[in-house]
Amino acid sequence: MFGTIKHNRKRAMMIRVYQAKHSNQSVLFLQQPLVQSGASLPLWLRKKVQRQKQKQQLVLVSRNIQTRAALTETDKITEKSTVKVIGIVKVKIAMSGLFSRLTLDQGIDDITDLFGKSLLLELVSSHLHPVTGLEKETLKAYAHKTVQGKESVNYVASFEVPNDFGEIGAVLVENEHHKEMFLETILLDGFPEGAIHFDCASWVHSKFDNPTKRVFFSNKCYLPQETPSGLRILRKEELSNLRGNGVGERKCFERIYDYDIYNDIGDPDRSLELQRPPLGGKERPYPRRCRTGRPHSEADPLSEKRSGPFYVPRDECFSEVKQHTFSTKTLQSVLLILLPSLGRIIKEKELPFSFFHDIDSLFSIGLDLPAEDKNDKRGFLGTIMPRLVKSIAGDRGHVLRFETPETMNRDRFFWFRDEEFARQTVAGLNPYCIKLVTEWPLKSKLDPEIYGPAESAITSEIINKEIGGMMSVEKAIQEKKLFMLDYHDILLPYVNKVRKLEGKTLYGSRTLFFLNPEGTLRPLAIELTRPPTVGKGQWKQVFTPSWHSTSVWLWRIAKAHVLAHDSGYHQLVSHWLRTHCVTEPYVIATNRQLSEMHPINKLLHPHFRYTMEINALAREALINADGTIESAFAPGKYSLEISSAAYALEWRFDKESLPADLIRRGMAVEDPFAPHGLRLAIQDYPFANDGLFLWDAIKLWVTDYVNHYYSEPSLVESDEELQAWWTEIRTCGHADKKDEPWWPLLKTPKDLIGILSTIIWVTSGHHAAVNFGQYAYGGYFPNRPTIARTKIPSEDPTEEEWKKFIAKPERALLKCFPSQLQATRVMAVLDILSTHSPDEEYIGEKMEPSWAEDPVIKAAFERFRERLKKLEALIDQRNENAELKNRNGAGIVPYELLKPFSKPGVTGMGVPCSISI
């Protein structure tokens, strides 16, 4: 109350001074006579002064009566010229308490709370001062700790907001504690027109780490040109802060987004054997990652040191729920604790499985973990990975025992069947590589001087024999009956390099399939090729299904090689490159160029959640030198180089939408009369059928959203933030492809809809289709071996090698499969990567606060959600349709990878908004 009175008095005094300054006669005559002691003046002069004074007083009294009347009215108004507003800040309590750990600083922070100075809040007006034309002075107040619940604590501040302050457009927050705090929301309550909401969901650093105040804008969206005048400078300053200055090593509490090349995959400081060439640049094109600013290696100036944490901007880190369930800690536990334990159990690195029974025992008996010692982590592993690490009564203690994948649970011999091998190309883990054969004979595009004759060994005679006289090769191509997995040209340049590595071999491969009348695929032929090497010419051979035992076993081993190629390409290209890797530049550019107030930022934000964190973890322990990918997948230390080669040769943004991808591979053609505007080459193509419905739902949602904010086509081209965002994605995030002519233009709402739909599809549908079935299809590794370690027996065999194969062909296949250490290592990782977190956000499930506050956007999102519910039911109907033989049949796992929603855990379904694992 006293503050209000003081404030009103101050305003009244300002009014009086203002009126005095603009009056024809100074008010000072009322307070201070012209002559303070007039007794010394002559009588005539004193009388003259008195007469003049009387005249002035008569005038001023008249004016003063009017002024007093006016001031009385002003005082009445002043009494009601402010509004008392309560600011409520909701802070999430960390799982280990309000702060991460108890320290001396914690005690100081408790005292800070006690004195009611926990957070300094400043309210920012959306309007400029009407007289000065400058930003209005902010209204400040300290927030003190009040109500504390199990998951959050409230901090409350009181403000006296003048009626002429204007709408509150932002809140500045200064954290007075020594530790960061996670702000969930800020609510300003008390305004006549209703409360103002700020959805923060962000970490606020301590002022002792960084004195710069955090900015939180209200949930309202504004295009740059529509930004309220009082927020324009703040909007630009906040973007500038997020970009940083490109100098120095990043700190864990910072929120700075910048670009760098992939020069931290190797670890030459630990060993020169772990040196890897940088990815990004003319020689090895690659998307950019987030800059960490770590110093360069002493052993290799081109590489960045791997010392210290892998920085990601603070708000990109996993939530505590995700950290404490499976994600970071579980995956790190697998990589840093469990895998070394496996190395102690399986002492021989290259030891193969002796019998298929040994493979089956991983699911029934398991592996004993090492005996307990002072560094034992089994109790921790058992708590955090109950699916993998189990407590067994008796002497065995804890064991690593895998859950039986659903594929094997339904049909123990599913992996052995040729029809399942073919079916999984359209309804399995990697449905992105099957393509239509359009030219014959097949030819390589590689230089024959280096790689040998370009013509394929798969001839018309071989194919005509396999399709049993039903039609000729030419007719099969004409009628779109011939399909292929082609890993020939992408792998052949690395064959001789990989073969120099211990326990590894490689081929270039082609696999042909024929489309049966009932809509299923039948494998016809596999071609394996080795390029010329020292003292040897090119070697190639074609393998076909056969009724003779020797040919049958060669066919099975050839299939193992092709599956290893498919597994490697799936992990390195279909999965890592085309989702994780290419998306990181989108995340960086969005935070650098699109304000949090920008509607496109609000649209994309859910689709970027946790992506930079999981990518950093991949660089740390999955795709790094001697990591899981290099150790257990076919290309070995050249894995990321092959990923770079695929980026250079194949990746195009304009072909990453699902319709464009299907058309590029010849799997569909445009047809305005067909469902989704496309006619599929294989009508029963589960991934494409479900995916196109999801694609259409995404595009319709994006169309509604974009058209709401860009009602005029010219608004897209005049949006300076949007144009800077798209330019930066092309020229910085994908700098090695910045001059390609195929980049879409961004001039109209239609252009924007296409770009945004592609990005959202890649982060949701595309990623879900290639990720969450990893354990279902790869958990029993003979179905998808990640590596083929031995050459096929018919490649230049010695007499002894051939005799061993003839005597024990099963042993030859088991030796070709991954070793015991490689298999168990990959199985453990795939189990984690296939798991949904309890805090997973599925596409169409959660409405963002800014969408809920806009009736048009809210209605559009609800329509989007209804379409996804319809897709859920449609997928169930399709899986029950016996005529759809690629998703229904004896022992066949239903195709559910694009069902939008899922419960937590390994389910083989669910489409999260983002690439979060």
Q: Which residues are catalytic?
A: 575, 580, 767, 771, 917
Task: Measure the CA–CA gap between 730 and 265, rounded to whole angstroms.
Answer: 24
Please identify which residue in the block is written with the tokens 């927030």.
Answer: 143
Q: How far apart are the first and last CA of the chain?
A: 54
DSSP 8-state code for residue 396: T
Q: Does residue 548 contact residue 527 with C-beta atoms inside 8 Å? A: no
> Is 601 exposed, middle or buried (CB count within 10 Å of its CB: 0-12, 13-18, 19+)?
buried
| Side-chain half-sphere CA neighbours of 42 within 13 A | 3
Task: Measure the CA–CA gap between 755 and 749, rounded to whole angstroms.
Answer: 10
The SS3 call for residue 620 is helix
Nearest residue to 434 (alpha-carbon basis) of 506, 491, 508, 513? 513
Nearest residue to 293 (alpha-carbon basis) of 280, 271, 270, 312? 312
Task: Measure the CA–CA gap between 810 and 279, rounded to whole angstroms.
Answer: 40
> Is 749 exposed, middle or buried (CB count within 10 Å of its CB: 0-12, 13-18, 19+)?
middle
Sequence-ordered strand ranges (E) for 358-476: 367-368, 389-392, 397-400, 435-436
Task: Measure the CA–CA gap between 764 and 768, rounded to whole angstroms.
Answer: 6
Nearest residue to 320 (alpha-carbon basis) of 310, 308, 331, 328? 328
Structure tokens given for 520:
């299923």
- Look at the alpha carbons of 544, 428, 694, 592 in this order and tell me if their dihedral is positive or negative: negative
**E strand or H helix that includes residue 557:** helix 549-569
Q: Does residue 879 contact residue 894 with C-beta atoms inside 8 Å? A: yes
Please identify which residue in the block is written with the tokens 């040919």.
Answer: 551
Task: Measure the CA–CA gap between 767 and 834, rounded to whole angstroms.
Answer: 11
For helices 820-833 and 356-364, give the axis angle rounded to 10 degrees: 40
